Amino acid sequence: MKLLNISTLILCVSASGCSMLGQQKAEVPAKPEKSVSASQSWWPFGGDKKTKQTKVAKVDTKATQAWLDQYEPRLREAVKGSKLEVERRENVLVVTLPVDPSYNPDRPSMLLPITLGPITKVAKLVEGDTKTAVLVLGHADSSGKDEANRKLSQERAQSVAAIFRLSGLQRDRLSLKGLGSDMPRAANDSQQGRSLNRRVEMILTPQETLVALLAQYNKPAKPEAPGKAVEVVAADQTK
């Protein structure tokens, strides 16, 4: 199953997201965010400035694919033997950290020591490349209240982003977002499915690519044609 519909814009990326880097600090927002509808972007990066900048943003496919070819084997080697999983999705690399074996059951937003090494290796891999950007996305299952899930997913994303910051990655290349249960990988009607949905994703790609992907995602919808139903394009939430 695919987490995001990269054709839609994935990407990001499809969810993945982008920082519009440089405009968003990796910090927990003062207030929990509300759930989003299919027609509303959940991307944390907005603003008039960004909209103006991204009107001409375009993914350099050749350069991006060359970056992916270079980084994918190095990234897989960095997480080898750990619980982290690496997936290549069109124009991004996604490193997934499952929550259950990685966080303290008694303090659900605290990473276990065994997880710190692999994440640090990933952080060190990209820290020295000033052209690389990272978006950290926290995800939860649908158990409990939405507000609590969103807050917890944000805290978990922050705990991972903190390791990138400690490794030297600057804020203009690092962003994070807690999505709560908005982007499930599996159905939440089983223990296995809920376990798959509890995760933190680290999305890596060239900074310019991430910015361009965000620009595509935030393109305004076309006016509805008379007599035709509005077509809502939503990201594929299964993987």
Residue 59, pLDDT score: 87
pLDDT digits (tens, 9 = 90+) for 27-77: 333 333 333 333 333 443 333 334 344 354 688 999 999 999 999 999 999
Identity of residue 78: A
- Better-predicted residue by pLDDT, 85 or 41: 85
Nearest-angstrom CA–CA distance, 13 and 129: 20
Averaged pLDDT of the chain = 75
**Range in 17-26, 107-116, 120-129 with the lowest mean pLDDT:** 17-26
> What integer is the mean pLDDT of 194-207?
94
3-class state of residue 94 by DSSP: strand
Q: What is the pTM of this model?
A: 0.70
User: What burial class does residue 190 get, using C-beta atoms within 10 Å of its C-beta: 0-12 exposed, 13-18 middle, 19+ buried?
Assistant: exposed
Residue 103, pLDDT score: 95
> What integer is the mean pLDDT of 176-193?
92
- Better-predicted residue by pLDDT, 191 or 28: 191
Q: Please report which residue ranges of the chain form alpha helices under DSSP H.
A: 48-53, 61-78, 113-127, 146-166, 191-197, 207-217
85: β partners: 96
Nearest-angstrom CA–CA distance, 134 and 172: 10
Nearest-angstrom CA–CA distance, 17 and 45: 9
Identity of residue 195: S
Residue 182: count other Cβ atoms within 10 Å of its Cβ. Answer: 22
User: Residue 122: pLDDT above 70?
Assistant: yes
- Better-predicted residue by pLDDT, 31 or 215: 215
**Range in 53-57, 124-128, 210-214 with the lowest mean pLDDT:** 53-57
**CA separation, residue 124 to residues 131, 159, 167, 175, 224 (Å):** 14, 16, 6, 16, 47
**pLDDT level of residue 217 (50, 70, 90 thresholds):** low
User: What burial class does residue 52 get, using C-beta atoms within 10 Å of its C-beta: 0-12 exposed, 13-18 middle, 19+ buried?
Assistant: exposed
- Better-predicted residue by pLDDT, 164 or 12: 164
